[in-house]
Structure 1
Amino acid sequence: MAALNYDCSVEQGFNFKKDIQDIVGHITSMKIGDTELSADMGVTDPTDISGDKVSVVGVMSGVSWQGGYAHGITFDAKVSNTNQTNVAGLTLNTLDSTEVTFQFNVYKYDNANKKYYKCFHANESDLSGLVETSGGDLVLTIDTQPSMEVRNPLNFHLNISIMPAESEQDIHVAVSDSDKFVKKWGVPIS
């Protein structure tokens, strides 16, 4: 299966301009263990630029998935000061639970149809997984210094890699506004 790697524009994510067609990504919800991250950043939904701002947990700078059932999804995103404090607390303590529940949307511009579409997303459904480990360490980091990529609102870089839970879940992928697919993520255990 083909790997999916999206480099997202943080500038476009925070300060959307309709005449720029960069890839945009949002983490719309995330709970790590018992800690629910706040959807406290108001941003533009690229598929509804005339609508109200939507509240998100983070604006992505990148997301990747190797495409396999058991492969993790890695997010790089900018999160608020409140979420930075919450995640920093998680990284400094032993987690009682590494369970993660999350939703996300990645938007790409369809040049033929002249509009944005969701190219990689959870279809507004919760996905479940676990914080991935590498060499015994959790793949969960948060910067202590604010990001300089976009200075307002104050934001901090988050990196998290999430392995799927032991259940089959749907990941939605599209290559245009009309060419859409559903891929399976996770392997059910009997």
Structure 2
Amino acid sequence: MTISYSQECSVIQGFNVNPNRHQRFGYIDYLRIGDLEFVPDIHANVPVDGAKSQHVGVISDLFWQDTAKVSPITLDFRLSVSNQQKLMQYTQGNNFNSDVLVEFASYEYDPNAHTFYSSFNTDKETIEGDLEVLAPDSQLAIYVSKDPETDVQSPVNYFAYLSIVPTAKAQQLISATSVTIKEVLPWGVSVV
């Protein structure tokens, strides 16, 4: 059976979590591309036990299809001014490697438990991958906007996108449909 994780997240909720608004939201808690490590400089209080309060990015869309353990994970997200400037300079240099370390989590509301829970995540661990190479021109799947977004004006934020394929290593993702129902999903394959 093919399962697609296509999650549209509310960036408004992500930047300013309102426990009375039961919209999905998500964060990139750690991100390193090549030798560029991003600073977690977006502050948001997440009403989930153990969740971080400082984030690299606020997720707007997340997509993964588990038809194969090597399917890419695609993240659309928002960056701060400082991180946007760093990523813009890094991508314009065209001399970076495609190694990626990322930790992310999306959150949804469980109406039975009356609380938010993490619905799709990296189990509070970083996962390793490489930027996806897009055909036909072999460009790396990474982009950052030059113009700020307007749906959330404070703090000023910029749209960014990346798509990651796993390295030759068995890793895992966590999918949950409630506070108590979770499933571990494999991502990546170890090469012996």
TM-score w.r.t. structure 1 length? 0.95
Q: Which residue of 2 aligns with 1:59?
A: 58
Shift of 1:10: 0.3
Offset of residue 70 of structure 1 = 0.5
The match for 2:78 is: 78
Ranges of 4+ aligned residues in structure 1 off by more than 3 Å? none
Task: Give 1:38's aligned residue.
Answer: 39
Partner SS for 1:89: helix
2:185 is the counterpart of 1:186:
no
CA distance in 1, matches of 2:95, 2:165: 16
Matched-pair identity in %: 30
Residue 90 of structure 1: how far off its partner (Å): 2.1
What is the number of residues matched between the two proteins? Answer: 188
Q: Tell me the secondary structure at the aligned position of residue 22 of structure 2.
A: coil
Superposed, 1:14-25 pairs within 5 Å as 14-25=15-26
The letter for the 2-side match of 1:20 is: R
Structure 2 counterpart of 1:111, one-letter code:
P
Deviation per CA, 1:54-83, whole angstroms, max 9, x where unpaired? 100000111010123000100011100111
Q: CA deviation at 1:44?
A: 1.7
Contact 1:46 1:107 in 2 (8 A): no
Q: Secondary structure at the match of 1:167?
A: coil
CA contact (8 A) 1:13 1:44 kept: no
So what's the TM-score if we normalise by structure 2?
A: 0.94
| Counterpart residue identity of residue 187, structure 2 | W
Deviation at 1:52, TM superposition (A): 9.9
Structure 1 position 46, deviation (Å): 3.0
- Work out the CA distance in 2 between the residues paired with 1:53 and 1:170: 20
Which residue in the other structure is 2:177 paired with? Answer: 175
Gaps of 5+ in 1: none
Write the distance in 2 (CA, Å) between the matches of 1:96 and 1:60: 24
Matches of 1:58 and 1:96 in 2, distance apart?
21
Q: Deviations over 1:110-144 (max 9, x none)?
A: 11111111110111111000011112011100000
5+ unaligned residues in a row in structure 2: which ranges?
none
- Report deviation, 1:53: 7.3
Q: 1:61 is aligned with what amino acid?
A: S
Using the alignment, how far apart are the partners of 1:96 and 1:105 within structure 2?
26
In structure 1, the residue corresponding to 2:146 is in which secondary structure? Answer: coil
Checking the alignment, whether the CA contact within 8 Å between 2:28 and 2:55 is kept in structure 1 is yes
